[in-house]
């Protein structure tokens, strides 16, 4: 799709289509939906940030919330190398001396009235964040220096940033910190919720395997280890594949022991459930 702004043609990105479902923790879902809500003609949607350890489901929550609202979703993965033009408009050489301007997923969401998920936003530098400052306040626009245009957000546009709670990220500049509110914290799920997540993602797995891995994760959480349900899904998948390859001659417990070691290392065995 192509749109024209101030005489410049912009080629839009395609929305992301994922098969995900948010299981449990409805309180954080309500907080996110409330932040996006507009309750008066003088009101504006907020730009929340989801904070938690890697693998706790921040992107899944954001995507599921957008789908509950029936919106298109556009995911932009932030890295330390993300430049302002990566966030906004990128020029692409097309033919002899001709440029084509390609809108980022974020700008496409702005124009289409969709939801932009800025994934792992605190990996970006301040220079990149600065290009988004006017979008995150009541101005709700961005300016592309590359294309020489100002792009205003559709009234239905919503934004959420996910941020990992670890040491490999930048501190947000204060003027961005105050624009990305509220801060919604996502913690490890309770046992019944964690088991439900594993079942939803691994419907082909045996009940014993799911219970075993859920107990393993709960033991790890109690010890404040950083293992997450994403790790649990990988353990279950690998254990099931090992059993399948061995034509079920390998016991569940043997397969799980191998999967734990190969996915997380020998130190993970200390949290393995007792026989």
Query: Looking at the structure, do residues 6 and 81 belong to the same domain, yes or no?
Result: yes
Query: Looking at the structure, do residues 67 and 200 belong to the same domain, yes or no?
Result: no
The predicted-structure confidence for 117-173, as pLDDT tens digits, reads as follows 999 998 998 999 999 999 999 999 999 999 899 999 999 999 999 998 766 567 788
Q: Are strands 99-103 and 8-11 parallel, antiparallel or unpaired?
A: parallel
Mean pLDDT across 71-80? 95
- What does the alpha-carbon distance between residue 29 and residue 21 come to, in Å, rounded to a whole number? 12
Query: Looking at the structure, do residues 169 and 219 belong to the same domain, yes or no?
Result: no
118 by DSSP, 3-state: which? strand
Query: Looking at the structure, do residues 198 and 132 belong to the same domain, yes or no?
Result: no
239 by DSSP, 3-state: which? helix
Lowest mean pLDDT among 26-35, 102-111, 241-250: 241-250
- What does the alpha-carbon distance between residue 30 and residue 44 come to, in Å, rounded to a whole number? 17
**Domain encompassing residue 241:** 191-271
Tokens at 28, concatenated: 């954080």
Query: Looking at the structure, do residues 90 and 33 belong to the same domain, yes or no?
Result: yes
Query: Looking at the structure, do residues 175 and 200 belong to the same domain, yes or no?
Result: no
- What does the alpha-carbon distance between residue 258 and residue 251 come to, in Å, rounded to a whole number? 11
Q: What's 73's DSSP letter? A: E
Q: What is the model's pLDDT at position 167? A: 60
Mark out the alpha helices in 95-136 (DSSP H runs): 105-112, 126-130
Lowest mean pLDDT among 88-92, 245-249, 250-254: 245-249
Q: What's 263's DSSP letter? A: H
Among 117, 151, 185, residue at a domain's last position: 185
Among 136, 156, 185, residue at a domain's last position: 185
For helices 58-68 and 26-36, what crossing angle results, to 10°? 60
Among 185, 218, 250, residue at a domain's last position: 185
Query: Looking at the structure, do residues 10 and 145 belong to the same domain, yes or no?
Result: yes
The predicted-structure confidence for 52-66, as pLDDT tens digits, reads as follows 888 888 999 999 999
Query: Looking at the structure, do residues 82 and 17 belong to the same domain, yes or no?
Result: yes
Lowest mean pLDDT among 97-111, 124-138, 157-171, 217-231: 157-171
Cβ contacts of 99 within 8 Å, gap of 6 or more: 91, 92, 93
For helices 229-245 and 207-222, what crossing angle results, to 10°? 140
Query: Looking at the structure, do residues 58 and 77 belong to the same domain, yes or no?
Result: yes
6 by DSSP, 3-state: which? coil
- pTM to 2 decimal places: 0.86
Mean pLDDT across 16-25? 83
Query: Looking at the structure, do residues 23 and 67 belong to the same domain, yes or no?
Result: yes
- What does the alpha-carbon distance between residue 195 and residue 184 come to, in Å, rounded to a whole number? 23
Q: What's 133's DSSP letter? A: G
Instruction: Supply the CATH number for residue 145's domain.
Output: 3.40.50.300
Q: Under the phi-then-psi rule, with left for phi > 0, alpha for psi from -120 to 50, and beta for the rest, what region is 70?
A: left
Query: Looking at the structure, do residues 104 and 64 belong to the same domain, yes or no?
Result: yes
Strand blocks (E) in 98-218: 99-103, 115-119, 141-144, 149-152, 158-164, 183-185
Query: Looking at the structure, do residues 195 and 181 belong to the same domain, yes or no?
Result: no
How many domains in the chain?
2
């Amino acid at each position: 799709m192509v749109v024209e702004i101030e005489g410049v043609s912009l080629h839009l990105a395609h929305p992301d289509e994922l098969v995900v479902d948010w299981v449990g923790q409805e309180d954080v879902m309500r907080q996110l939906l409330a932040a996006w809500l507009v309750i008066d003609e003088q009101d504006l949607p907020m730009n929340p940030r989801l904070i938690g350890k890697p693998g706790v489901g921040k992107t899944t929550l954001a995507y599921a919330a957008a789908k509950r609202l029936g919106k298109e979703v556009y995911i932009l993965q932030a890295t330390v190398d993300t430049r302002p033009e990566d966030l906004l408009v990128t020029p692409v050489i097309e033919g002899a001396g001709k440029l084509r301007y390609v809108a980022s997923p974020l700008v496409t969401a702005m124009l289409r009235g969709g939801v932009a998920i800025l994934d792992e936003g605190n990996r970006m530098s301040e220079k990149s964040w600065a290009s988004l400052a006017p979008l995150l306040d009541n101005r709700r626009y961005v300016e592309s220096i590359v294309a020489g245009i100002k792009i205003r957000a559709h009234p239905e546009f919503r934004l959420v940033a996910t941020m990992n709670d670890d040491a490999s990220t930048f501190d947000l500049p204060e003027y961005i910190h105050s624009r990305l509110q509220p801060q919604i914290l996502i913690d490890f799920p309770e046992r019944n919720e964690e088991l439900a997540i594993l079942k939803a993602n691994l419907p082909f797995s045996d009940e014993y395997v799911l219970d075993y891995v859920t107990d393993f994760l709960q033991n790890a959480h109690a010890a404040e280890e950083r293992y997450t349900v994403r790790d649990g899904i990988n353990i279950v998948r690998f254990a099931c594949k090992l059993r399948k390859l061995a034509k079920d001659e390998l016991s569940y417990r043997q397969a799980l022991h191998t999967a734990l070691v190969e996915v997380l290392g020998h130190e993970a065995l200390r949290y393995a459930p007792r026989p």
